[in-house]
Structure 1
Amino acid sequence: MREAKLTVGPVLFNWRPEVWRDFYFRLADEAPVDTVHLGEVVCSKRQPFFAPHLPEVMDRLTAAGKEVVLSSLALVMSERERDAMRALALDAGDLLVEANDLAIAADLAGRPHMIGPFVNVYNEGTLGYLAGRGARRICLPAELPLETLTILAAEDKAEIEVQSFGRLPLALSARCYHARSHNLHKDGCQYVCGQDLDGMAVDTMDGLAFLTVNGTQTMSSRYANLLGELGDLRKAGIHRFRLWPQSGDMVAVAGLFRRVLDGALDAKEAAGRLADLVPPDVEFANGYVHGREGHAFVA
């Protein structure tokens, strides 16, 4: 059985540049993770704010022995964004690039790269096609059950990564819901998404937590939590697990997942500790991997 690897995905939210920088500095110095993703996935308007910090963050992570992966935009809507993604593919050097849009996947064809969870990989044919074009690692969409994950891992054509913690990315739109909620247009959004560190809650008319809005992105309200499923996923041949950044103590979160993967901590005990690391109103979900509705939690 291959060694289990932990990945921290790119920050999906609009954090202040210094908060973004310090988050990655702490990951570099303290987090027991193997791979860290950098890059703006949701809205290209945010990218210039943290770009000045990118070189020092990359240096810090690399010096700490972390693998750095550059993540692309998940929805390319203008020629400017297309040019930026083409430049990312060309200028990455030896770094692995995660393609979250098929346009940049085409630019990366023929050399090693990664496919992100925003590209729909649901079956062996799609996996084989992408692997044949150079994809060495694929982070699968969240909605796949364990049975399908097992089948795809058995193909052994690319490393399979599963989203295991944090709010799940569900959809992207050309419209910015965050701006609209403040009676603003997308072009004059005033970056109001930065007011919500973990996204803006969307409730039903009955007041029940439903979804989360992050700029143009729709996310789950509940945090994915696959601590209890790590053992079954490992038996299924999966050895890479992605943690999505949230505003809480991600170093502690990574520590819990690392200890469970290493057999140093019982999953049930770790789940109790994880509940103390998230906001009190946050609920967990693991329904997809059990073939259930995504918001369900199967004990």
Structure 2
Amino acid sequence: MTNSERTTLTLGPLLYNWSPEKAHDFYLRVADEVDVDRVYLGEVVCSKRQPFHEPYWAQAVERLERAGKQVVFSSLALVTTRREVRALSELADPEGEHVVELNDLTALEGWRGGAFRIGPYINVYNESSLRFFESLGATGATLPFELTAKSLAQIAASTSMEIEVQAFGRLPLAISARCYHARAYRLHKDNCRFVCADHSDGMVVKTLDGAPFLTVNGTQTQSLTCVNLLEDLAALAAMGIRTYRLSPQDIDMADVAATFRSVATGSLEARAGLAHLGACFPQFVFSNGYFHGLEGRVRTPAQEAI
């Protein structure tokens, strides 16, 4: 693989409500030990969590950039209050040093900020949508999680923008103004007691028959399974997509990143990498169904791709 074809690994924003101390230590370890090129920093799920985490962000940025990693600030995925609108407007700094990942269209009206990317929570399902955002100044896009390989290939072929896809981690399926996590504890959103902090990888939801079904993370609904596109990296690279997002889970993300890097560079076979991660993290069921045009929860080996 030539330098021009080098894979870019990114670490998506932390979606869970870890304690500030745990999250702070996590980002310092990311700076020193996790082989990623770009780190997304910011609160995406619930603005009530943000005041607990903002105090350490400056130090995290300094350490990450000193380690040679690009830092991108991610915005909320659902903006519903005036306070959240004001917080979003603060990201629109024309003199800002950092790229901003926009996950809500609210910010685009009269955007006066610097460089920005389109996040995966904004609907980009075809070439014309991407061209529209490119005309507004977007420099890259992380595409929605449920796109098939065919759709990804068509969109990637239509642009010179950097296209990014999530290649690892539980998939965010929906976000709501209501907090399902609080309701599960018979609490109101305004007095939630931050019960989401009790589940560092989200709270598994079961059907009436007792079968695991989905994962709840505050106001966010996630997949039960953990997407893992290790066996599909070659197909993505053939489309010209070489930027892969690893979404933080409460596991050894350094191992995850090292495995993806090894597979991307060809020093490790994808099947062996998948087996390694499966053995290390048996609590997760891996899936790649959306990529293959199937139900998102299933996993299809690369040789059986549709």
TM-score by length of 1: 0.97
Q: Tell me how far apart the structure 2 counterparts of residues 61 and 117 of structure 1 sit (CA, whole Å).
A: 23
Counterpart pick for 1:105 among 104, 108, 114: 108
Q: Tell me how far apart the structure 2 counterparts of residues 70 and 177 of structure 1 sit (CA, whole Å).
A: 26
Q: Could you tell me how far 1:53 is from its partner in structure 2?
A: 0.4
Counterpart pick for 2:275 among 258, 272, 275: 272
Q: 2:85 aligned with 1:82, yes or no?
A: yes
Change in Cα spacing, 1:108 to 1:239, as seen in structure 2 (3 Å) is: farther
What is the match of residue 299 of structure 2?
Answer: 297
Change in Cα spacing, 1:254 to 1:181, as seen in structure 2 (3 Å) is: same
Q: After the TM superposition, which residues 5-154 of structure 1 pair with which residues of structure 2 at under 5 Å, given as runs? A: 5-90=8-93, 93-108=96-111, 111-154=114-157
Q: Which runs of 5+ in 1 are unaligned?
A: none
Change in Cα spacing, 1:126 to 1:249, as seen in structure 2 (3 Å) is: same
Asked if 2 retains the 8 angstrom alpha-carbon contact of 1:223 and 1:283, the reply is yes
Asked if 1 retains the 8 angstrom alpha-carbon contact of 2:95 and 2:113, the reply is no
What is the RMSD of the two structures over their aligned residues, measured on CA atoms? Answer: 1.3
Asked if 2 retains the 8 angstrom alpha-carbon contact of 1:165 and 1:225, the reply is yes
Q: Could you tell me how far 1:91 is from its partner in structure 2?
A: 7.0
Q: Which runs of 5+ in 2 are unaligned?
A: 302-306
What is the match of residue 260 of structure 1?
Answer: 263
1:159-201 Cα offsets, whole Å, 9 max, x none, are: 1101100100110011000000111000000000000000000
Q: 2:162 aligned with 1:167, yes or no?
A: no
1:115-149 Cα offsets, whole Å, 9 max, x none, are: 11000100011000001111111000111111110
Q: How many residues of Structure 1 are paired with residues of Structure 2 in the alignment?
A: 298
Q: Could you tell me how far 1:3 is from its partner in structure 2?
A: 1.8
One-letter amino acid matched to 1:292 = L
Q: Could you tell me how far 1:156 is from its partner in structure 2?
A: 2.1
Q: Could you tell me how far 1:155 is from its partner in structure 2?
A: 1.2
TM-score by length of 2: 0.95
Q: Could you tell me how far 1:110 is from its partner in structure 2?
A: 7.5
1:44-101 Cα offsets, whole Å, 9 max, x none, are: 0000001110110000000000000000000000011001000112277120000000
Change in Cα spacing, 1:198 to 1:137, as seen in structure 2 (3 Å) is: same
Q: Tell me how far apart the structure 2 counterparts of residues 71 and 225 of structure 1 sit (CA, whole Å).
A: 22
Q: Could you tell me how far 1:205 is from its partner in structure 2?
A: 1.8
Change in Cα spacing, 1:96 to 1:219, as seen in structure 2 (3 Å) is: same
Q: Tell me how far apart the structure 2 counterparts of residues 131 and 199 of structure 1 sit (CA, whole Å).
A: 34
